[in-house]
Amino acid sequence: MGNCLKCFQSSSSSSAAPTLPTSQSLPNALQNLNANNSCQAATSIGNCYDIVQSNANDRPRETDELLSNRTPLKPANNCDTKRNSFKSLGLLNGSAPTMSDIITTAVKESMEVSHQALNKLFEIYKDPDEEDMILTDGIERLCLDLNYQPDEFAILVLAWCLDASQMCRFTRTEFIDGLHKMRADSIENIRLRLEHTIEMLKVDSEMFKQLYRFTFRFGLEPDQRVLSLEMAIDLWKLVFTVQTPDLFSNWVNFLDKHPNIRRIPKDTWNMYLNFTEQCDIDNYDDTEAWPSLFDDFVEYEKNRALEMATVHDDDNNNDDPLQCHVKAGGDMRHVS
């Protein structure tokens, strides 16, 4: 269902999002609850890293760690850690629990979640022909009630929170279990949780890394192991909504200019985040274990910069009156 993102983008561009009540217009009791929950969540974030540390030796190493001969957190020989690519989003190589563990730990509030309310919420959006599925129409109605467009970053975060297995579909189990872990059993609470999670993603690099890796799996067509280039670019643009790498527009331009690049495998997807954090064009080391596509990109950018510098020098020479006079004199002597 990879084409669903395109469908959502087309539909969202043709109709404006309705104006629904925001968190400012909620009852005072809900506002007070949100304030208390935020405080409790903030004090619980530290536990996320306790979980990360305790599970560090139990999880198989990820592909980007296996491809690189560097130790975690150690930059390449000529690649200093490049903080200005992600000003508040430094990538941490290492272990992490699932997204559900992070969210559950971070939002351990005293509020009870009603299983009956979750089932009623599912019934509102479920497909009439699929008893245990929320499909495209239901997801669009859910997005409208949340006051989001289906192709917004917040909906990608929602899919991540629900651990959705594919685009344009939430199963009953994904929807109910995911919202239970989010501690949200109403539209208002779902939106509040999403807003809080998005703020956490802006500052928590390990949390963003989990979302980034989920995005690749989420965009895959059934039974496929690689993303089409078009889908990969759309998903890169979406996942980097809150933090955009310095060279991202150059990267997309490079991919567009090379029609022979048709697929993006998982290794390339995962390591692109490392690349944007650790290196730029000047300090890139092609002897490191980067995908060959990154070598081609760096070479392309260096050649493009050289061409631009040459054109700039030629323009400066043409603007120099002395150079123009000498050139004109030489032309006159040649004519005589």
List, for residues 169-218, the tens digit of each pLDDT value.
999 999 999 999 999 999 999 999 999 999 999 999 999 999 999 999 99
Q: What is the Cα–Cα distance from 229 to 259, expressed in whole angstroms? A: 9
Q: What pLDDT sits at residue 37?
A: 46
Rg value, the chain, Cα: 25
The whole-chain average pLDDT of the chain stands at 75
- DSSP 3-state of 29: helix
Going by C-alpha positions, the residue among 132, 161, 162, 138 that lies closest to residue 150 is: 138
Look at the alpha carbons of 68, 71, 76, 80 in this order and tell me if their dihedral is positive or negative.
positive
Q: What pLDDT sits at residue 313?
A: 59
- Residue 39, classified by CB atoms within 10 Å of its CB into exposed (0-12), middle (13-18) or buried (19+), is exposed
Model confidence at 310, pLDDT cuts 50, 70, 90, reads confident
Q: What are phi and psi of 263, to 5 degrees?
A: -135, 150
> Which whole-number Å values give the CA distances from 116 to 123, 180, 317, in the listed order?
11, 11, 77
- DSSP 3-state of 82: coil
Q: Hey, what amino acid is at 55?
A: N
Residue with tokens 């004519």: 335
> Which whole-number Å values give the CA distances from 271 to 67, 213, 249, 308, in the listed order?
9, 10, 17, 29
- Residue 49, classified by CB atoms within 10 Å of its CB into exposed (0-12), middle (13-18) or buried (19+), is middle
Q: What pLDDT sits at residue 159?
A: 98
HSE-up of 49 (CA within 13 Å, CB side)?
8
Q: Which of 101-105, 131-135, 188-192, 237-241 has the lowest mean pLDDT?
A: 101-105
- Greater confidence (28 vs 174) lies with 174
Residue with tokens 């989001």: 148
Q: Does residue 252 surpass a pLDDT of 90?
A: yes
DSSP per-residue string spanning 306-319 = HHHHHHHHHHHHHH
Look at the alpha carbons of 211, 216, 219, 224 in this order and tell me if their dihedral is positive or negative.
negative
Q: What pLDDT sits at residue 324?
A: 52
* Residue pair 147/17 in contact by the 8 Å Cβ criterion: yes
Classify strands 263-264 and 133-134 as parallel, antiparallel or unpaired. Answer: unpaired
Q: What pLDDT sits at residue 302?
A: 93
* Residue pair 151/5 in contact by the 8 Å Cβ criterion: yes
Q: What pLDDT sits at residue 110?
A: 42
Interval 263-276: pLDDT, tens: 999 999 999 999 99
Residue 212: count other Cβ atoms within 10 Å of its Cβ.
20
Q: What is the mean pLDDT of residues 52-76?
A: 43
Q: What is the Cα–Cα distance from 97 to 257, expressed in whole angstroms? A: 38
Q: What is the Cα–Cα distance from 98 to 54, expressed in whole angstroms? A: 13
